[in-house]
């Protein structure tokens, strides 16, 4: 098992407590998986239980979620380092960053997650 960071493009659903405050963003999940696909599938299963709407619905999970999946090998961003450490301690780490309501989305739906 290796530690992966899965970054997904999401919008808060109407059930999200910050629905009126945030418009769109990225959800980053660090978790262990046997492969990139395994980590991606597990991350999507987790996110589907949370109050988020996916961006770009398609047929398979890879198409359904604009996802970036990479090995979590230490990052220069402190937020990513924190979720990597959390995942090593408890099995999962989550970090979200969103843009406030009213921000121009530009080409958000067309770009891949970081």
- A 10 A CB-CB count for 60 gives 8
Please check whether residue 106 lies inside any domain of the structure.
no
- Answer yes or no: pTM beyond 0.85: no
What is the tens place of the pLDDT at every residue in 36-56? 989 988 998 888 888 888 776
Q: Report yes or no on 63 lying in a domain.
A: yes
| Residue pLDDT, tens place only, 68-93 | 788 888 777 888 899 999 999 999 99
For residues 38 and 113, the model is more confident at: 38
Examine residue 110 and state whether it is found in any structural domain, yes or no.
no
112 falls within a domain:
no
107 found inside a domain = no
Say if 114 falls within a structural domain: no
Quote the number of domains for the chain.
Answer: 1
Q: Which residues contact 1 (CB under 8 A, 6 or more apart)?
A: 32, 33, 34
The domain of 48 spans 2-100
Asked if the structure places residue 113 within a domain, the reply is no
Contact 12, 51 (CB under 8 A): yes
6: which strand partners? 29, 69
């Amino acid at each position: 098992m290796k530690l992966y960071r899965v970054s997904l493009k999401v919008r808060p659903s109407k059930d999200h407590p910050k629905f009126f405050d945030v418009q769109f963003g990225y959800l980053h999940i660090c978790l262990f998986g046997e492969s990139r696909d395994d980590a991606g599938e597990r991350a999507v299963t987790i996110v589907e239980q949370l109050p988020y709407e996916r961006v770009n619905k398609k047929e398979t999970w890879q198409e359904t979620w604009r996802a970036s999946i990479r090995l979590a090998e230490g990052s220069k961003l402190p937020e990513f380092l924190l979720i990597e450490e959390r995942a090593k301690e408890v099995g999962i780490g989550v970090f979200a960053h969103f843009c406030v309501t009213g921000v121009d989305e530009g080409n958000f739906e067309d770009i891949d997650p970081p």
